[in-house]
Structure formats: C-alpha cells, structure tokens
C-alpha cells in the first residue's frame, strides 16, 4: 500500500528516532544509561561519577595536612597486618553513609529546607572495572571543608587507645573496628588511594579530600562543581589484589551479608542481558509499508541500571512468628557490626498507653568499652530509637546502665517527631517504654535459663556481674535479678550451677541463714578453715568468687526470708539446742587461761580470742568483725587501688584494714590442748611465743588476710628451719661474687658527648619519624 505524504513523514520520523535509539543503546554498552527522576538529573543518574581530569588534578589548589599520630598507627596496622577480614570495609562505609542519611532526615523534621537540595535519600555503589575504582555515594548530611579535615584526619580519643592496643595484640579485632568510630580507615584494606567528595548544606562549595594512606592528606575545592547537590562520594582506587570487589556479584553478596537491614535503599550499579527491539537501517529511497500483524524484531543486549539490594522490610515491623533464627542473627550483625550470633532475643509489640515495636538482643560477649563507658558516665548507645520508621537517635537512654549491654531497636508510633533530643529524653512516653523494655529483658533472661541452660551459663559468665550491679542499684528489680543469678556451692562446685531457690530448697531443718564464703576461686575456699564445721554439720555453703559478691550481699541482706551470713565474719548461728550451748560455755571456761594469754601475746593483731564453733581440723582461724573487711574483700579492694583514688576513702580503708581481728581456737585440736597445759603450768618459753606468732601469721594467710610484715614472717620461718637443722641464727651466708668494673675514662667521655647531643628517643616510632 502506497503511503500518502503525511504517513510518509510520520514513518520517516519514527525511523530516525529508532536509529538514534539504537545508537544510544550501542553507546550504552560502553557507558551506562541515564536514569531520570522527574526529568531532573540527580547525583544517582549515572552509575559512575565524572572523574577528575589530569588537567584538573594538576591545577588543584590543595592544602596538605598531616594525619594525627593515632591515625598513622591505625593505617599502618590496617595496611600491613590485616587481610583476612578485608571485606568489612564495605560494611563500614555503608554504615557511615546510613548515619549521614539518618542525620539529614532528623534535621528535616524541624527544618524542611534541609532536604531541598536533594530529597532522594539512598546509598549507591558502582564499580568501574576499566579504571579499577569503586564508588560509594550517599545523599546524607555531607561534610564541610573543616569537617573533612577534622573527621578524616583525626580520631576522637574515646576508645582509640584501647582499639589500637587490641589490634597490636590480636589482628582479629579488625572485625569490631566500627564499634570504635574508626571504620572509615578500613578502606585502606583494599585501596591505595582514596578520594572523598562531599557537599554540605552549610558550605556553598563541594570539596574533595585525598590520601594515599602514607602520612598526609590534601583538601581542595572540587573543580567539577557541586555534582553531589548534598552528600558524600567515596572513590576507592583498588589495590591489584582487591579487584574482586569490582565484580557486581561480590558487591551484592557483601551488601546482603552485612547491610541488608539498613533502612535506606542500597543500590548497586548492575548489568543484565535484556531483549531490546531491533530497528533495521533503510535506504532513503525505500518506503516501508505498515504491517500491523508483524512481530517486532528483538535482540539480546547488555543494559545497565540500579539494582535495589536491601529490599527486606524492617524486621521489627514484621510478625515475630514469621522471622527465622537466621534472619534475627543477620539483623543483629547488621545492627551492631558484631560478628558473633546473639545469645538470645526478644521481639515484641508494646500496647496500652503507648504503642511501639521492639527487638532486643543479648550479644554473645561483653566488650571492655562497656565497662569504660560505665566508669566515665558515657552512654553505651544500646538502643536505636525510631518514630514511625524514622531514625531519631541512639543517644536516648531507654535502658538503665545495668541493662545497657543489650542491643536493639524501638520504633514508637505515638511520639512527636518535632522535639529536640534533650526534650525527648524527658518525654513521659520514654519512661513507659523503659518499664516495658526492662520487663521484657528480664523475661528474656528467665526464658533463656529454662530453654537453654548451657547458653544461660554463657550469659551469666559474661553478664552475671552486671546483674548483681543492677540488684544493688535498683531496689524495684532486686528480687527478680537475684533469682536469676546462679552460683557454685559445696553441693555442686560447677560454675553457675545453683540458684538461691535451689539452695533454700536443700536447706536443713530450722536453718535461718544462707551461708556463704568469698574467695578468689573455689580451690581457695575449699582450703579455708571457715567451712570445716558447716560441712561437718551438713550445711551447704555458697561459694562467691566474683569480686562484687561481698558488696552484693551487703546490699541484698536476705532472700525469701533467709539472711545471708558470711562464715568468715562474726558469729555463726547453727540453730543448736540448749545442750550444745551448755557444752560451749564449759569449753569457754576451760580454755580461758589460753585465750587470755593469746590476747596478751598477739595484742597488736587481735581484739579477742574465743573457742570456735566453726573449726573441726584446723587449730586456729582469724575472723573479721561483723562490720569489718574479710580477707578476700581486703585483697580485692587493695588490688583495685580504691584507697588511692580518694583521700577520704583511703582513710576509711586504712581504718578498716587496721581493725583488730577475732582469733578462734579449736578446743579439740592437740596443739591447743597442749598449749593450754603449758599456760596453766606457766611454762611458756621465748621460742614458744615466737612459734605462736608464726602460727598466727600462717593462719592469717590461710584465712585470706595479707600479712603486714612479710619480712618478719620469712625471718621466723628461717629461724625455725635453722633450729631444726642445728645452725646458729647468727651464722651468715658466704658471699662469693665478683664486683663489677668501674667505668673507663673512654666510657665517661662517650657519655659526656651523648649528653651534649641532647637527643632522647622515647620509642621506636619516634626514631622512625625523625628518620623520615
């Protein structure tokens, strides 16, 4: 069918359009196609950014800066020591990008203009195999020139020294790098050159930061102009042995592995084979007849586009029954940057005065950073607060300190979005949420103790001390926390084997006390003379080996109607009958001459001497007063240096340490019976007095008290040995050693020359720095 002029022009136009479309698609094999949004080109339109040209690089007006010492040390460790966990660099950069997006979204709640420069909040990853670069871009809050210098040239002191020390001891610690705020530097695991372009709403210009991970970096105004609108773009020039990170498949797997639960879209520039229409070339003289029924011809071609990787719905918004164990484990790792699976979790929805959803996790191990933050009153940032899926803050203290080892998410529906973080902390809704979280956490611990005793023992090994701290601090939860604790005892010496409820169930008739003994370890307690009489009578003794235990029981005086009794302090009540009491009184009268002599002989150390009701095989025991320090408590406090931190505490400690003790004697021991005879016959010699002093000192050690004068004790032992082998106390050892030579004149002159140079190298790093 012949075409009229109008039809001919229409077809010709379509043919020409088809021709240019084919040409564009052919060009696209070399360069990714543009993705338009509302007909406006965004920083995410192209897969790859416009590179700085050689001319631009040559003409850059840069300022050079030197890295902070800690940064240089860190990068030296990363570059030269840490290779097996290199892939974590992508997790760290994505997490930083997510934080930047969170910040700009939070600002936009009170300042709608904050997102005006770019409302498209996302993270993109694009690899360029040709230039061997990997580009990660976000539309977050961005950085000013000053922030580029401060944030990427120095490290905040908090946690850095601890991190570097751990890294130098064990390179496996790199897996925890993000927890110390130094995650950016992990890029040097895979890159030998890094370029960071960033644009902030607070700076009219876009700037670039560059470094080759030696000891300095440069900052300059970006000659490409404001290509980002707002946000940060990191370009990694990969090392040859890191080219595998240019592969699309590997990038997607890493995003899914580490960052699938990031709340912002993560897009990877991807290629795929698609069927595209084929438009044949035509001669100018040819006419084409329309054919409605003819199928259009297609061919397979490689096209590029963004692929959304983290499509998973926020885990806390889903039904808890639909979430697998594996999903919880992966979400926990994404949330915390931890590499180990959590011990347990609680996923729940709070209803009533305020509606919210939450997920709480117990990390498998506690970090030193937790205790450092407790000491310095810093937040452990355990909970991320969201309101209607919008991240608000991780600075809000939703958990008390003793529960801040938990990690998790809280997403509330009924809280205002336009309040400051300071006001938010005092919001009534948060107090309600906190009560719910504490209850759910305690329920989680209880369920773990019943469902998986082995895992619960691991939990107590890590967090038992913190639960005791919580019981001391929080009277409201004291009984519940105490019931969750587990201890070793004379019934079962395995760690964390018995609860206080178990102990009470096994208690003897009319037993009114919970007997316990403190020590550094179970072996030490089992050798103590204090436990002899109780074990002989069939009483169970709880073995406290945690340094906080004695403080714990002082603040928790009883449990379910029974009082704690430290068998190393004060009197012990065995609930004995009148006949036993009468026998004890008779023994007191019988041994009074000996006890009075012991008090006069050992008056520097003891306040009184009494007949013991707790000894069966040992001759003596030294007991602290009821309100005094036991031997174990004194050793713990001395080791912690408590007395040196506070002058007032030093005086109190010295007063308690110098308290005179109570000496208990075993009336059934042959040594005590013989001594009684010698005292009654007034047949006490100087040697016998010296032996009594030695016996007291050895008993002091056995009772857990440190000796005041170790030299005097050693002298007495040596004197006893000399007498036993027949050597005079006055006979001295023969000294046969050669005296060291005095310095020669040449050595003295060399020392003088060294002084004149006045060079002092404190460390090997200082020497290396001067050489450079």
Give binding residues for ATP as ranges.
92, 96, 138, 143, 151, 157-159, 179-184, 232, 421
In angstroms, rounded to a whole number, what is the distance separating the alpha carbons of residues 211 and 149? 12
DSSP per residue over 503-524, as a string? HHHTPPTT--EEEEEE-SSHHH
Give the torsion through C-alpha atoms of 455, 457, 462, 464, to 10 deg: 130
Q: Taking Cα atoms as reference points, which of 358, 359, 405, 361 lies closest to residue 380?
A: 405
Question: Tokens 């010492």 appear where?
Answer: 69
How far, rounded to the nearest angstrom, does the alpha carbon of residue 700 sit from its chain's CA centroid? 40
Helical residues (DSSP H) of 225-342, grouped into ranges: 248-259, 325-336
Helical residues (DSSP H) of 143-271, grouped into ranges: 145-153, 160-169, 248-259
In angstroms, rounded to a whole number, what is the distance separating the alpha carbons of residues 497 and 668? 35
Structure-block tokens of residue 553: 């029981």
How far, rounded to the nearest angstrom, does the alpha carbon of residue 691 sit from its chain's CA centroid? 53
Helical residues (DSSP H) of 144-275, grouped into ranges: 145-153, 160-169, 248-259
Binding-site positions: 92, 96, 138, 143, 151, 157-159, 179-184, 232, 421
In angstroms, rounded to a whole number, what is the distance separating the alpha carbons of residues 618 and 713? 20
In angstroms, rounded to a whole number, what is the distance separating the alpha carbons of residues 754 and 524? 54
In angstroms, rounded to a whole number, what is the distance separating the alpha carbons of residues 181 and 200? 21
In angstroms, rounded to a whole number, what is the distance separating the alpha carbons of residues 501 and 484? 10
In angstroms, rounded to a whole number, what is the distance separating the alpha carbons of residues 245 and 186? 14
In angstroms, rounded to a whole number, what is the distance separating the alpha carbons of residues 313 and 261? 8
In angstroms, rounded to a whole number, what is the distance separating the alpha carbons of residues 237 and 305? 23
In angstroms, rounded to a whole number, what is the distance separating the alpha carbons of residues 641 and 650? 9
In angstroms, rounded to a whole number, what is the distance separating the alpha carbons of residues 215 and 213? 6
CB–CB of 116/199 below 8 Å? Answer: no
Instruction: Kindly provide the residue ranges of all beta strands, DSSP E only, lying in 542-659, ordered along the sequence.
Output: 542-544, 558-559, 562-566, 606-611, 620-623
Please list, residue by residue across 128-154, b when 16 or more beta carbons sit within 10 angstroms of its beta carbon and e when fewer do. Answer: beeebbbbbbbbbbbbbbebbbebbbe
**Dihedral sign from CA coordinates of 290, 295, 297, 298:** positive
The neighbour count for residue 483, using CB atoms within 10 Å, is: 16
Distances (CA, A) of 558 to 478, 541, 554, 624: 11, 15, 9, 20
The gap between the terminal CA atoms of the chain, to the nearest Å, is 85
Contacts 24+ apart (CB under 8 A), 488-492: 488/522, 488/542, 488/543, 488/545, 489/540, 489/541, 489/542, 489/543, 490/531, 490/535, 490/540, 490/541, 490/543, 491/540
Pairing between β-strand 383-387 and β-strand 407-412 as defined by DSSP bridges: parallel
């Amino acid at each position: 069918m012949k075409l009229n002029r109008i039809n001919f022009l229409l077809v010709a136009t379509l043919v020409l359009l088809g021709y240019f479309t084919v040409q564009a698609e052919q060009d696209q094999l070399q360069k990714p196609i543009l993705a338009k949004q509302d007909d406006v080109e965004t920083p995410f339109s192209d897969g790859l950014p416009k590179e700085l040209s050689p001319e631009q690089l040559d003409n850059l007006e840069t300022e050079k800066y030197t890295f902070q010492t800690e940064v240089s040390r860190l990068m030296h460790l990363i570059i030269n020591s840490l290779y097996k966990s290199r892939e974590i660099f992508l997790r760290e950069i994505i997490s930083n990008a997510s934080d930047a997006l969170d910040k700009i979204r939070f600002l936009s709640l009170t300042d709608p203009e904050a997102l005006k420069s770019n409302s498209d909040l996302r993270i993109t990853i694009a690899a360029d195999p040709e230039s061997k670069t990997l580009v990660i871009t976000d539309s977050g809050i961005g950085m000013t020139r000053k922030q580029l210098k401060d944030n990427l040239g120095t490290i905040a002191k908090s946690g850095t020294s601890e991190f570097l020390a751990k890294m130098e001891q064990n390179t496996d610690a790199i897996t925890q790098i993000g927890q110390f705020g130094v995650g950016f530097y992990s890029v040097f695991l895979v890159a030998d050159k890094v370029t960071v372009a960033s644009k902030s709403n607070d700076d009219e210009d876009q700037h670039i930061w560059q470094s080759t991970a030696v000891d300095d970096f440069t900052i300059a105004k970006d000659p490409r102009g404001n290509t980002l609108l707002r946000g940060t773009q990191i370009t990694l020039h990969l090392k040859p042995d890191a080219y595998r990170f240019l592969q699309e498949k590997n990038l997607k797997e890493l995003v899914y592995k580490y960052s699938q639960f990031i709340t912002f879209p993560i897009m990877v520039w991807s290629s795929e084979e698609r069927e595209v229409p084929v438009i044949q070339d035509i001669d100018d003289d040819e006419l084409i007849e329309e054919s409605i029924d003819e199928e259009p011809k297609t061919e397979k071609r490689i096209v590029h586009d963004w692929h959304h990787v983290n499509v998973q719905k926020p885990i806390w918004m889903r039904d808890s029954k639909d979430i697998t164990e594996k999903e919880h484990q992966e979400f926990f790792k994404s949330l915390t940057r931890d590499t180990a699976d959590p011990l347990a979790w609680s996923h729940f929805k709070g209803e009533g005065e305020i509606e919210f959803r939450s997920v709480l996790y117990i990390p498998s191990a506690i970090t030193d950073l937790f205790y450092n933050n407790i000491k310095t009153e810093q937040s452990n940032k355990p909970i991320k607060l969201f309101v209607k899926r919008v991240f608000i803050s991780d600075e809000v203290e939703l958990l008390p300190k003793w529960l801040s080892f938990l990690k998790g998410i809280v997403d509330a529906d009924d809280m205002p979005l336009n309040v400051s973080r300071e006001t938010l902390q005092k919001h009534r809704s948060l107090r309600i949420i906190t009560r719910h979280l504490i209850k759910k956490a305690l329920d989680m611990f209880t369920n773990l103790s019943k469902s998986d005793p082995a895992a619960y023992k691991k939990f107590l090994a890590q967090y038992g001390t913190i639960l005791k701290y919580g019981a001391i601090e929080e009277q409201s939860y004291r009984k519940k926390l105490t019931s969750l604790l587990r201890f070793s005892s004379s019934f079962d010496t395995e760690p964390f084997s018995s609860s206080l409820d178990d102990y009470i169930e096994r208690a003897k008739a009319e037993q009114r006390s919970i007997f316990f003994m403190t020590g550094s370890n179970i072996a030490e307690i089992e050798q103590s003379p204090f436990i002899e009489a109780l074990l002989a009578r069939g009483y169970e003794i709880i073995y406290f080996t945690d340094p906080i235990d004695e403080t714990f029981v002082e603040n928790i005086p009883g449990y379910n109607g029974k009082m704690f009794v430290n068998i190393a302090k004060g009197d012990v009540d065995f609930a004995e009958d009148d006949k036993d009491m009468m026998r004890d009184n008779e023994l007191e009268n019988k041994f009074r001459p000996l006890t009075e002599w012991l008090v006069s002989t050992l008056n520097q150390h003891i306040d009184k001497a009494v007949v013991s009701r707790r000894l069966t095989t040992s001759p003596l025991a030294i007991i602290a007063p009821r309100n005094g320090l036991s031997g174990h408590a004194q050793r713990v406090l001395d080791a912690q240096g408590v007395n040196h931190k506070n002058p007032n505490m030093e005086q109190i400690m010295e007063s308690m340490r110098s308290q005179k003790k109570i000496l208990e004697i075993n009336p059934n021991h042959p040594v005590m019976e013989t001594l009684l005879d010698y005292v009654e016959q007034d047949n006490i010699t100087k040697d016998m007095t010296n032996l009594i002093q030695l016996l007291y000192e050895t008993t002091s050690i056995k009772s857990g008290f440190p000796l005041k004068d170790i030299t005097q004790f050693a002298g007495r032992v040596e004197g006893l040995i000399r007498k036993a082998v027949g050597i005079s106390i006055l006979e001295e050892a023969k000294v046969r050693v050669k005296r060291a030579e005095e310095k020669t004149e040449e050595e003295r002159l060399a020392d003088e020359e060294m002084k004149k140079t006045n060079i002092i190298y404190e460390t090997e790093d200082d020497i290396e720095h001067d050489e450079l």
